[in-house]
Structure 1
Amino acid sequence: MRKAAKGKWEELGEPLEFHDSLFRMKDRAIFYRECMLVSKTEVTHDTWVFRLQLPLGTLMHVPVGKHIYLKALIHDSEVVKPYTPVEETLVPATLDSTQGTAATDIFLMIKVYPDGVLTPHLNNLNIGDHLSVSSPDGPFSLRLLREVTHLYLLAAGTGFTPMARVIRLALQDLGSLRKTKLMFFSRQERDILWHSELDGLAAEDERFQVEYVLSEPFDGSVLLYSMVPGSRWSIFCQSRVMGGQAGRGGLRPPC
């Protein structure tokens, strides 16, 4: 700190508003930082992982289950939307998942809607452009999971993003859990987010299972199949017209 003029300071100045005050975390106002887009990684044909870098010297702790807000000025209007951060990969090597991330980068899995308000703007950002990112927010508490033995997760599309870190938490930090099962709803197989990562995790860890429900696999049918550790594919195909068929061992023809 440098003095504006030479000489002794007669006083330290007037305290700012709320000086020497204590607030509960949930009562603190949302604070925004200008973060830089450093990379975009394609996940599916319309979904990307945006990697945002915090300002130099800044770390941000994002607990599991919390979200952040993105804010942008679009056509002279301020647009704000919540997003739940994910990790760079589905199950990172570090075991400290209960505390969330405290890092210089934030990873957001975002589906781009051609007729959307915010996502086309995000998709048009160039590497090096900046975006306003808020501090973490949300009422989720990990205490809800401490005594759970079987955890069932339902997700559709990018609604999977809050589940990604919960899956990591369940498998690495919750000793009481014996089984975690994800039912993942998508339109087509190409829309399944982190498909190979989920299958790999189910194959490696017998406590985790994933089932995919496709609303448009072919000809208006509804297809459900699951990756169960130690078994082959389990399939249920329900036709809108002809009723259902069930099989094990491979994909059946369209019902």
Structure 2
Amino acid sequence: MAGVQAVQVSRAAAALPRLRVRVPAVVTPTLLLFGCSLALGGFAAWLSLLHVASGWVTVPLHVAAMVGMFVVLHECVHHAAGRLTWVNDVVGRLAMPFVSAFGAFAPARFLHLAQHRDGVEGHLTPWNVRGPAWQLPLRWMLTDLWHVAAYLRRTAERPQWEVAESLSMLALVPGTIVAVVATGHGWELVLVYLLPQRIALALSAWWFDWFPRRLPAGARSYHTVHNRYPNLPFYRYPQAWLAERDLAPAPAPRPAAPEVFHALVVTAVRPLTGCAVEVAFAVPPHLAEEFRFTPGQHVVLRADIGGEQVAHPYAITSCPEEPELRVAIKRLPGGRLSTYATTELRPGDRVEVRPPDGQFSVHPSPQGEHLVAIAAGVGIAPLLPMLAHALRTSPKHRATLLYVNRSGADTLFADELTALARRFEGRLRIEHFRTDERDPDLRPPRPPRPFDSIGSALAICYERYHAGGLDAKRLRALLACRLHPAKVDEWLVCAPRELAGVVHALLAEHHVPESAIHSELFWSAEAA
């Protein structure tokens, strides 16, 4: 089919239960920890600077406050302080100076996520576990300097704004320290800031890097849960332990459709583009149960062409509550069945159809979820009913569609998508990517006029158009902000192998569990 292969690519990871935890817009426990750590640090500074208590009392208080800030920073690095990206960015940057006098938030985030992404054992920092035992405490106290050096070696591949942030913090905080020392308050600075920070770094490095290597295999610990669910807020870890303890066996796959074809009458053949049609079939009442389907499934069509039977699967484009069964068919060069269907098939003809089959489906939680669908070309065929059905069945569901086509003339179901976006009033957002930059949809219908930019900002628009395809750079930018995995519950992918491979690789980089990814690949050749 010039469309979708009838094999589901992703599967639920049996060893890792899917935690359906809806992270709030702002995670209150993380902000409380930030506030308590800040208050504790301020109280300890007051005790120290006014000589109310000795360093034996104030330094441990400062250390406790800075360890708390480390936890907050770590949560923000993993976007676990809430779904709002700006909350993670702001709180992470506020916490950073308490954790390190030399580091910056964005570079620290990049390095830490790279350790997760590269599969470093236990996401350990190499500096913290190498060398003789007597060196380790000193290494732990200087671990932030190792991170700064590691980042500076990679500045050529990083965005300019991120490098600028790193260099600014590298100059600002140490410069402030030099200025304080020059005023004669060096000893106070050591007691209030430098010494507690080094001790807090050493404790954090021991806890996060050295200690995990001493745990027995299979031990239930923070490290085990964090490695499996990096974006899970720290206070939800007990829920993860319980989920793993109570993990039920994976559900059995749906039984395959019987190898029985039924002759169905074609009721309509509707052109979608110059080379694609939507074919509707009437399902007799006595076959209604056999042809019951779940959005995302497909049927196999079979026809006698030139004295030879040719069969091929096509995605169902109708919704379960609709009376007709419809499929989308795009003509391919040399495709006998697709050519026949797009050029010769007429209403009243009979075509042999095998009952619905396939594992490509999604069952959103009744509490409401954010679905992100990524399609290219005829890959929209199974996704259209999946999105429409999910949005129709629950007013709490939201969806974002990233749809790649050559131009508007090649876009299947363009009017239906626009109607859906308007019907659900913002619960469906569509981002169109057009590889033909001459496409009229990419250009305004008239020259720009004064106040157009203001009008565009105030206008309600559920569809946006972008010149060019959906490449790794664009997708990575979306994952870093609007479509951060912490804001998305399910991912639906129906695209050619090249694009699907990029999507899967980037989702893996962001630690999206396989059970949250539902994928179907294109089949570019007709079945003989």
Superposition TM-score, scaled by structure 1 size: 0.66
1:108 aligns with 2:327: yes
**CA deviation map 1:67-119 (0-9, x unaligned):** 111112334433221112112xxxxxxxxx6xx2474x311121123531211
If asked which structure has higher relative contact order (CA below 8 Å, sep 6+), I would say 2
1:47-196 matches, cutoff 5 A: 47-55=276-284, 57-59=286-288, 60-87=291-318, 100-101=320-321, 103=323, 105-123=324-342, 124-143=344-363, 145-146=364-365, 149-177=369-397, 179-196=398-415
**CA deviation map 1:204-242 (0-9, x unaligned):** 4211111111112329xxx699xx982487554459xxx
Q: Percent identity?
A: 23
Does the C-alpha gap of structure 1 residues 181 and 25 become closer, same or farther in structure 2, counting only changes over 3 Å?
closer
Partner of 2:54: none
Partner of 2:270: 41
Does the C-alpha gap of structure 1 residues 176 and 76 become closer, same or farther in structure 2, counting only changes over 3 Å?
same
Query: Is 1:33–1:133's contact at 8 Å kept on the other side of the alignment?
Result: yes
The SS at the match of 1:40 is: strand
In 1, the alpha carbon distance for the partners of 2:462 and 2:341 equals 40
Query: Is 1:67–1:85's contact at 8 Å kept on the other side of the alignment?
Result: yes
Query: Is 1:150–1:180's contact at 8 Å kept on the other side of the alignment?
Result: yes
The SS at the match of 1:196 is: helix
Q: Between Structure 1 and Structure 2, how many residues are aligned?
A: 198
More deviation, 206-215/116-125: 116-125
In 1, the alpha carbon distance for the partners of 2:411 and 2:258 equals 36
**Given residue 168 of structure 1, which amino acid in structure 2 is its aligned partner?**
A
Does the C-alpha gap of structure 1 residues 47 and 229 become closer, same or farther in structure 2, counting only changes over 3 Å?
farther
1:183 shift after superposition? 0.8
Query: Is 1:153–1:181's contact at 8 Å kept on the other side of the alignment?
Result: yes
Query: Is 2:330–2:338's contact at 8 Å kept on the other side of the alignment?
Result: yes
RMSD of aligned residue pairs (Cα, Å): 3.2
1:230 aligns with 2:470: no
In 2, the alpha carbon distance for the partners of 1:39 and 1:180 equals 30
Query: Is 1:61–1:101's contact at 8 Å kept on the other side of the alignment?
Result: no
In 2, the alpha carbon distance for the partners of 1:56 and 1:233 equals 39
The SS at the match of 2:345 is: coil
**Given residue 259 of structure 2, which amino acid in structure 1 is its aligned partner?**
I
**Given residue 385 of structure 2, which amino acid in structure 1 is its aligned partner?**
R
Does the C-alpha gap of structure 1 residues 149 and 85 become closer, same or farther in structure 2, counting only changes over 3 Å?
same
In 1, the alpha carbon distance for the partners of 2:376 and 2:277 equals 16
Partner of 1:249: none
Does the C-alpha gap of structure 1 residues 57 and 113 become closer, same or farther in structure 2, counting only changes over 3 Å?
same
Does the C-alpha gap of structure 1 residues 202 and 229 become closer, same or farther in structure 2, counting only changes over 3 Å?
farther
Between Structure 1 and Structure 2, the one with more strand by share is 1
**Given residue 165 of structure 1, which amino acid in structure 2 is its aligned partner?**
P
Query: Is 1:180–1:207's contact at 8 Å kept on the other side of the alignment?
Result: yes
Query: Is 1:211–1:224's contact at 8 Å kept on the other side of the alignment?
Result: no
Q: Choose the corresponding residue for 2:436, options 203, 206, 216.
A: 216
**CA deviation map 1:14-50 (0-9, x unaligned):** xxxxxxxxxx960562321001222211222222111
**Given residue 46 of structure 1, which amino acid in structure 2 is its aligned partner?**
C
In 2, the alpha carbon distance for the partners of 1:160 and 1:224 equals 24
The SS at the match of 1:202 is: helix
Larger radius of gyration: 2
1:130 shift after superposition? 1.2
Segments of 5+ residues of structure 1 without an aligned counterpart are: 1-23, 88-96, 245-255
**Given residue 217 of structure 1, which amino acid in structure 2 is its aligned partner?**
E
In 1, the alpha carbon distance for the partners of 2:283 and 2:464 equals 44
In 2, the alpha carbon distance for the partners of 1:157 and 1:214 equals 11
